Structure 1
Amino acid sequence: MSLAARVAARLGLPIGELEPLPGGHSGLTYTTKAGVHQYVVKAVPPGQKPVGRNDILRQARILRALAGSRVPVPGVIAVDEQAPAWFAMEFAEGEAIEPVLDAHTLAPELAGSRMLEAARVLRNLHEVAPPPEAPIGAAGELERWTRTMHAVPAELRPGAEDLLKRLADVPGDLPPVLVHGDFRLGNVLFAGDRASAVVDWEIWSVGDPRVDLGWFLLFADHRNFPALGTPVPGLPTESELLHAYQGKHAVPEMRWFRALSRMKMAAIMGHNLRRHREGKHHDPDQERLPPTIAAMIRTATDLLA
């Protein structure tokens, strides 16, 4: 039975065509209509194992756990565990724009208010009781991304070894929370200045809240992305976003987590550039990445100097 037939049978309604949803998504992501309602369907690609980013059922599980919380998420409508697994969720209205990286016509004032609102949404997320999973501490995060960095050819990651030595002085962990893993405006849908849904839960985990926070702050300044970023006047500073997140409560050791986020970004970009140059994923746009990779490593090192 085709995926479309399985979805229609589970919903108990005839559906329209499954149309691929544009944008970067793991697994297979489609939109479809059933009567007046629109849904998003995520499925494990045929022939692939439901692990990592393709663990569709794990994504559905966290979305259901967040239903009714102060974190806006699409409602899960149906789940089918039969291989290849899939689930259907509500189509959340809104737009996801990363102001300093995406081409857009968003007014700077609206971009700024969205960033402040996203900081408050992130705080709400970290106040949700985490699921019963083994937490990944700061040391575990560092180990994971060090492996990714070491898989990048040395000539593509200048200064990385010095940075990794500095990151070895790992701070103690804060109490574990639910971590999105890629929290930024590009993964939050907005209707005006109101967050309508946090999406793309492929790499959620339980861990230190500063992992999410450091990553979110990275996207506050276009200068973090040489040759890629675009200036947006009037965006909140990292300090203003921190205040929107923390209120009166200080968040300790943020310099280390800001440096870790830069190392992660350099490792991800280096990995993508290597795959392009090896012919595994042809994308000439990846050739724009070296200045940002170098800047991420350099500024992370400066933070820990």
Structure 2
Amino acid sequence: MTLEQRVRDRLRTALDAEVTGFEPLPGGHSGLTYRVTTTGPEFVVKAVPEGRKPVGRHDMLRQARIMRALADTAVPVPRIVAVDEAGPAWFAMEFVTGESLEPVLDDPAVEPTLAAARMRRAAEVLPRLHAVDPAAVPDAETALTPADELARWARTLGAVPPELVAGGDRLLELLGRTIPDPVTPTLVHGDYRLGNIIAAGTEPVALIDWEIWSAGDPRVELGWFLVFADGTNFPEVGRTVPGLPDPAELVDRYRAGGPPLPGLPWFDALGRLKMAAIMGHNLRRHREGRHHDPDQEKLPATINRLIETGTALLAG
């Protein structure tokens, strides 16, 4: 039985809704994603690709469980309406109307005043997620310490040819000198940024793409979020958006609703190292012919910028 037929049967039985449309949604990298229209509401279906194991980013059931666990919290998540554990597993969630665009990277461009307001609200909403006790949700694994995080990303960077990440070894050295002590782990999304937040106007109405959630250090998440607050971090691949709040303002807005977090410049620098390592990995795959994409040739300027600014955060 095809995935579409399985979805049709389940929604008919569970929700008394007849499917009238079943169309792929572009942009997903961790599974199959479809927009489903029915005689009632619209839904989004995420499914394990045929032939793939339901592990890691393809573990759709784990994604469904965390969103169900957050349904009665202050964290905005889509409502899960159906889960099918038979392989290939899939789940259906409500279709949330709004935009999920990264102002410094995505097209179409977001109007600057709107982009700034969304970024401020995202900083204010993030403490709601970090207030959730990871012990209260299913599947939370042992949280990584800052030292663990650095070791993890050092391995990723080490798999990239050094000429593609020039200066990365220096940034790693600086990070290794001043590793902050751990704080109490929180629930973390793992890729918290405006590109993964559906906004209705300025208000975040759904945090999506829960492929890599975990228990973790909230400062790692905040440092990652800050990378996307400045378009100058992405020369040739991004844009500068006038009027975006600077990192200091975003941190202040976060702290108004969250715990005090020491050592944030270290985590800001770590976020830049992470992005440089990811882009270096993508550029390597392109040049090796494993994933041909000429746009990857635009990445060196951004990789260099991220490493240079990360180093500057710590070298002074």
Moved more, 164-173 or 184-193: 164-173
Contact conserved, 2:103 with 2:109, CA < 8 A, in 1? no
2:157 is aligned with 1:144: no
2:209 is aligned with 1:200: yes
State the partner residue of 1:298: 308
State the partner residue of 2:125: 121
Q: Kindly report which structure 2 residues correspond to 1:138-287, keeping only aligned pairs within 5 A, or say none.
A: 138-168=146-176, 169-247=178-256, 250-287=260-297
Distance in 1 (alpha carbons) for counterparts of 2:4 and 2:92 = 11
Contact conserved, 1:25 with 1:200, CA < 8 A, in 2? no
Q: Deviation per CA, 1:103-154, whole angstroms, max 9, x where unpaired? A: 3343221111110100111111111121353112212211221111111111
Distance in 1 (alpha carbons) for counterparts of 2:62 and 2:26 = 22
State the partner residue of 1:90: 94
Question: C-alpha displacement at 1:240, in angstroms?
Answer: 0.6
Question: C-alpha displacement at 1:94, in angstroms?
Answer: 0.5
Residue type matched to 2:158 in 1?
Answer: H
**CA distance 1:127–1:157, change in 2 (3 Å):** same
Residue type matched to 2:42 in 1?
Answer: Q
State the partner residue of 1:31: 35
Task: Output the TM-score relative to the length of structure 2.
Answer: 0.93
Moved more, 204-213 or 242-251: 242-251
Question: C-alpha displacement at 1:100, in angstroms?
Answer: 1.3
Q: Kindly report which structure 2 residues correspond to 1:3-42, keeping only aligned pairs within 5 A, or say none.
A: 3-11=3-11, 12=13, 13-42=17-46
Q: Deviation per CA, 1:68-108, whole angstroms, max 9, x where unpaired? A: 21111100011111111111111111101111112334322
Q: Percent identity?
A: 58
Distance in 1 (alpha carbons) for counterparts of 2:296 and 2:67 = 32
Question: C-alpha displacement at 1:228, in angstroms?
Answer: 2.1
Secondary structure of the residue that 2:72 maps to in structure 1? Answer: coil
Residue type matched to 1:225 in 2?
Answer: F
Runs of 4+ in 1 over 4 A off after TM superposition: none
Gaps of 5+ in 1: none
Kindly report the root-mean-square deviation, in angstroms, between the aligned alpha carbons of the 2 structures.
1.4
Secondary structure of the residue that 2:44 maps to in structure 1? Answer: strand
Task: Output the TM-score relative to the length of structure 1.
Answer: 0.96
Q: Deviation per CA, 1:27-83, whole angstroms, max 9, x where unpaired? A: 111111121211111111111111111111111111001102111110001111111
Gaps of 5+ in 2: none
